[in-house]
């Protein structure tokens, strides 16, 4: 047990908390950007614009069915080959936004589809344009329906940031690896505490999701 007391010295804990800070920072930026991307592309896919919607839909399906790790590799090692210079933080944010944006677009699409067609027809026959009907009538109801799915996607985004250790993003798991590579007896204490940290962050988000779900169902 002596290991635990030593491993959890303030210096190490502070170092881990810095990692957690990077995890949360990257997650928050990616959540905000991928939500916007997902909303726009899910919307375009649903608008049934000739060719454009089909192409967007196909791209979304391709990205959704690739492993995130592959996309992370691509943005970090592949983009420089095309002359685009990235750093770990930028590369992981780009990868997360591409991947989660596609996942969210799919959620948005099925959310809009879940709103009965009569809502749109009713709004249109009351003299609204397509965009007005979408923004004021359909989207608010759709967002309401998709909030639980959106939040659980955000939880998996937070977990997925750990994959970016492979491109040396200085996040929680990477900082833990630095600590236990200097002293291998810290291996177990480190995995224990980062599991707790990830759990606390993700579980509180999950709890918030199920709270919202209950609130909306009643």
Q: Which residues bind another protein (CB under 8 A)?
A: 61-62, 64-70, 73-74, 77-78, 81-82, 155, 159-160, 162-163, 165-166, 173, 187-188, 191, 194-195, 198-199, 202-203, 206
Q: At closest approach, how far in Å is the CB of 137 from another protein?
A: 22
Q: Sign of the CA dihedral 109, 113, 114, 118?
A: positive
Separation between Cα atoms, residue 3 and residue 185, nearest integer Å? 7
- Residue 168 gets the label, from left (phi > 0), alpha (psi -120 to 50) or beta, of left
Complex with another protein: residue 143 or 187, whichever CB lies closer:
187
Separation between Cα atoms, residue 53 and residue 81, nearest integer Å? 30
Q: At closest approach, how far in Å is the CB of 133 from another protein?
A: 23
Q: At closest approach, how far in Å is the CB of 150 from another protein?
A: 16
Q: At closest approach, how far in Å is the CB of 128 from another protein?
A: 27
Complex with another protein: residue 137 or 164, whichever CB lies closer:
164
- Convert 19-52 to b/e letters by CB count within 10 Å (16 or more is b): bbebbeebbeebbebbbebbbebbbbbbeeeeee
Complex with another protein: residue 22 or 123, whichever CB lies closer:
22
Q: C-alpha angle 202/207/208, rounded to 5°?
A: 100
Q: Which of these, 204, 205, 172, lies nearest to 191 by C-alpha position?
A: 172
Complex with another protein: residue 54 or 70, whichever CB lies closer:
70
| Tokens of residue 54, six digits | 């089909």
Separation between Cα atoms, residue 57 and residue 60, nearest integer Å? 5
Q: At closest approach, how far in Å is the CB of 180 from another protein?
A: 8
Complex with another protein: residue 59 or 128, whichever CB lies closer:
59
């Amino acid at each position: 047990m002596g290991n635990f007391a030593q491993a959890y010295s303030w210096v190490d804990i502070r170092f881990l908390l810095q990692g957690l800070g990077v995890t949360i920072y990257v997650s928050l930026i990616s959540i905000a950007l991928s939500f916007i991307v997902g909303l726009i592309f899910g919307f375009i896919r649903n608008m049934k614009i000739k060719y454009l919607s089909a192409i967007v839909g196909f791209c979304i399906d391709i990205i959704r069915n690739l492993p995130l790790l592959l996309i992370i590799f691509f943005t970090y090692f592949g983009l420089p080959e095309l002359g685009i210079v990235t750093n770990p933080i930028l590369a992981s944010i780009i990868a997360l936004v591409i991947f989660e944006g596609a996942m969210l677009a799919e959620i948005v699409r099925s959310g809009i589809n879940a709103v009965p067609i009569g809502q749109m027809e009713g709004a249109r026959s009351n003299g609204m344009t397509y965009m007005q009907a979408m923004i004021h009538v359909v989207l608010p109801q759709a967002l309401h329906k998709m909030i639980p799915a959106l939040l659980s996607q955000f939880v998996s985004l937070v977990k997925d940031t750990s994959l970016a250790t492979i491109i040396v993003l200085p996040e929680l798991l990477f900082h833990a690896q630095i600590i236990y590579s200097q002293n291998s007896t810290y291996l177990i204490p480190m995995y224990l505490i980062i599991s707790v940290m990830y759990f606390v962050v993700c579980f509180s988000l999950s709890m918030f999701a199920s709270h919202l779900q209950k609130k909306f169902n009643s």
